[in-house]
C-alpha cells in the first residue's frame, strides 16, 4: 500500500540572499509505504551564513533543521561554502492536509528568510478498520465565536454526547489525536526529545528520538517506525476516545447516541480525526472577525485577564496580526473541507437559533422536529452560566458590535488585516 506520494517539487533560483543551494531529497515521483520522507540538501548564504532550514505548512512551523552536515563535495565546487552547509532530517506527514504543500525555507544568521522550494504531495489516511461506536462531530472555530452557545445547543440533543461541564472545554478527543501526531513524528533533537536526556523530563515526552538515521537506514526498522507503529498508535488513540465517550453516553442515559462533539481549532487535529473516523462530520462556526476582536478585548477587560492569545503581545495593534492568522487558517480549513462540512454563521446562530440548529441537524441526519429543536434552544439559553460568559447585554447586541466598540485608532489596522478573510466568507467590508 502506498501511504505517501511526493508529486511535485518546485525550486526557487539563487538570489540576493542565497548564492547557491540544492535539494538532494526528496525527488518528485517518490512513492513510500510509510508516513515519513527524507529531506536533505545544502544551502550557502550570499552575505550572511545560512543557519538552518525550516519546513512550513500554511504559515505553521513544522520543523527546524540546523545545518550540521559536512559537505566536502559542496566546498570543492563553492570555495566560500562552510564545511557544514548540509542538512538532513526525516519529515512526518501525519496531520498534514491529504494533498499538502510544504515550504522549505532557509534562515540566515542575520534572520533573513528565503523560500527555497515547495514540496507537494498526497498522503493516505492511517485509519483503523473497525467501526466506531460513535461518530465525531467536530465544531471547528476560533475563540469568542459562539462555540459555547453552539455546544450547549448540540449537547442537548439525545443523539449527541458531550462533556457538559460549562463552557464545554473538556477535550479528550483533541488530546488523543494530538498525541498521535506527536508520537508518530520522527526525531527532532533540536526542538523535541533528545536521545541523551529524554528520560530526565518527568513532565512530557516528545518525538521518538531514535526514529532517525542510523536506525532507519535499515528498511525493516524504517517500515516499523513509519508505518506499523503509527497504525498501532492510531488504534490505541481511537480506542481511548471511543471508550471515554461510550462511558459518557451511558452516564448521560443516551443509549441512542450517534455522535460525540468537541470544540476544535483549525489546525492538524481535525485532519487526524478525519483519518481515524472516515464518517466524521464537521461544523465550521464563523463570525465577523471584527466582532471577534472586540469580544476578546471586552472579555479580557471583564475578567481582568489577558487570554485568547492577547497575552503574547504588547499592543492591540500587534494582536490584530494574530487574529488575522487565525482567521486565514479557519478560512483555509473550511475551503479544503467545504464539500463535506457545514458552515454556520454566528450572526444566524444569535438571531435565528432554532432555524440555524435545524440546519445543523439536517446535515447530521438527526431528528429536527420543532419539539426537538425547541427543547435544545431552551436548554442552551437557560444555562445559569451564560451571563458570565457574555460581554454584551444580549446575544443580539453582539452582532455588528465592532461599529460601536472598535476604537477608531484601530480601524485602519483591522481593515487591512481582516478584510481578506472577511471577504472570503462573504462578509461586507469597506
Q: Are 248 and 103 in contact (CB under 8 A)?
A: no
pLDDT at position 396? 78
Q: Is the pTM of this model over 0.75?
A: yes
- The predicted structure's pLDDT at residue 384: 74
CA 224 – CA 127 distance, rounded (Å): 16
Q: Render pLDDT for 347-359 as a digit per residue (tens, 0 to 9).
A: 999 999 999 999 9
pLDDT at 11: 95
pLDDT of residue 390: 66
- What are 81-109's pLDDT values in tens digits? 999 999 999 999 999 999 999 999 999 99
Domain with CATH 3.40.50.300 in the chain: 135-424
C-alpha cell at 340: 463535506
Question: What are the distances in angstroms from CA 156 to CA 268, 382, 403?
Answer: 28, 12, 33
Per-residue HEC secondary structure of 160-211 comes to: EECCCCCCCCCCHHHHHHHHHHHHHCCCCCCCCCCCCCHHHCCCCCCCCCCC
Query: Which ranges constitute the DSSP H helices of 341-429?
Result: 346-351, 353-364, 370-381, 386-389, 402-405, 411-424
For residue 111, the SS3 value is coil
Of 46-50, 135-139, 300-304, least confident by mean pLDDT is 300-304
pLDDT at 158 over 80: yes
pLDDT, mean of residues 217-238: 96
**CA angle in degrees (0–180, nearest 5) for 101-106-110:** 145
- Residue 290 parent element (H or E): helix 289-303
CB 134 within 8 A of CB 247: no
Residue 379: what pLDDT? Answer: 87
Can you tell me the mean pLDDT for 37-64? 97
Quote the cell numbers at residue 289. Answer: 472577525
What is the average per-residue pLDDT within 214-243? Answer: 96
Residue 293 reports pLDDT greater than 70: yes
- Top pLDDT among 73 and 386 is at 73
Instruction: Give the whole-angstrom CA distance, residue 107 versus residue 278.
Output: 39
Domain 135-424 belongs to what topology?
Answer: Rossmann fold (3.40.50)
pLDDT tens for 255-286 read 999 999 999 999 999 999 999 999 999 999 99
Q: Which fold has domain 4-123?
A: Immunoglobulin-like (2.60.40)
CATH 2.60.40.10 residue window(s) in the chain: 4-123
Q: How do residues 395-412 score in pLDDT, each as one tens digit?
A: 778 899 999 999 999 999
Is residue 382 over pLDDT 80?
no
Place of cell 527532532: 188
The pLDDT of residue 155 is above 80: yes
Amino acid at each position: 500500500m502506498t501511504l505517501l506520494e511526493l508529486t511535485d517539487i518546485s525550486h526557487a533560483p539563487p538570489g540576493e540572499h542565497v548564492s547557491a543551494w540544492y535539494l538532494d531529497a526528496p525527488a518528485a515521483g517518490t512513492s513510500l509505504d510509510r508516513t515519513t520522507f527524507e529531506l536533505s540538501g545544502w544551502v550557502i548564504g550570499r552575505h550572511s551564513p545560512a543557519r538552518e532550514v525550516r519546513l512550513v505548512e500554511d504559515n505553521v512551523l513544522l520543523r527546524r533543521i540546523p545545518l550540521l552536515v559536512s559537505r566536502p563535495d559542496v566546498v570543492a565546487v563553492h570555495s566560500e561554502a562552510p564545511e557544514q552547509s548540509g542538512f538532513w532530517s526525516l519529515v512526518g506527514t501525519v496531520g498534514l492536509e491529504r494533498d499538502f504543500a510544504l515550504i522549505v525555507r532557509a534562515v540566515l544568521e542575520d534572520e533573513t528568510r528565503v523560500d527555497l522550494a515547495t514540496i507537494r504531495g498526497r498522503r493516505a489516511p492511517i485509519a483503523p478498520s473497525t467501526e466506531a461506536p460513535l461518530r465525531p462531530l467536530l465544531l471547528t472555530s476560533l475563540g469568542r465565536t459562539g462555540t459555547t452557545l453552539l455546544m450547549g445547543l448540540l449537547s442537548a440533543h439525545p443523539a449527541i454526547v458531550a462533556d457538559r461541564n460549562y463552557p464545554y472545554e473538556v477535550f479528550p478527543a483533541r488530546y488523543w489525536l494530538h498525541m498521535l501526531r506527536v508520537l508518530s513524528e520522527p526525531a527532532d533533537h533540536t526542538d523535541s526529545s533528545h536521545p541523551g536526556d529524554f528520560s530526565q523530563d518527568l513532565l512530557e515526552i516528545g518525538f521518538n528520538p531514535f526514529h532517525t538515521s542510523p536506525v532507519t537506514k535499515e528498511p525493516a526498522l524504517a517500515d516499523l517506525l513509519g508505518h506499523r507503529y503509527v497504525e498501532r498508535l492510531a488504534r490505541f488513540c481511537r480506542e481511548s476516545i471511543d471508550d471515554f465517550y461510550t462511558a459518557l453516553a451511558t452516564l448521560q442515559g443516551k443509549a441512542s447516541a450517534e455522535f460525540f462533539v468537541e470544540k476544535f481549532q483549525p489546525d492538524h487535529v481535525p485532519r487526524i480525526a478525519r483519518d481515524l473516523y472516515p464518517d466524521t462530520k464537521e461544523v465550521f462556526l464563523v463570525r465577523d472577525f471584527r466582532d471577534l476582536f472586540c469580544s476578546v478585548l471586552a472579555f479580557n477587560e471583564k475578567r481582568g485577564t489577558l487570554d485568547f492569545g492577547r497575552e503574547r503581545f504588547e499592543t492591540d495593534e500587534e494582536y490584530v496580526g494574530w487574529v488575522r492568522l487565525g482567521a486565514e487558517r479557519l478560512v483555509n480549513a473550511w475551503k479544503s473541507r467545504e464539500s463535506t462540512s457545514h458552515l454556520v454563521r454566528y450572526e444566524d446562530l444569535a438571531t435565528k437559533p432554532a432555524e440555524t440548529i435545524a440546519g445543523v441537524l439536517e446535515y447530521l441526519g438527526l431528528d429536527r422536529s420543532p419539539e426537538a429543536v425547541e427543547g435544545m434552544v431552551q436548554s442552551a439559553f437557560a444555562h445559569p452560566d451564560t451571563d458570565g460568559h457574555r460581554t454584551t447585554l444580549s446575544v443580539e447586541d453582539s452582532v455588528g458590535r465592532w461599529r460601536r466598540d472598535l476604537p477608531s485608532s484601530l480601524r485602519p489596522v483591522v481593515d487591512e488585516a481582516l478584510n481578506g478573510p472577511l471577504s472570503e466568507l462573504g462578509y461586507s467590508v469597506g
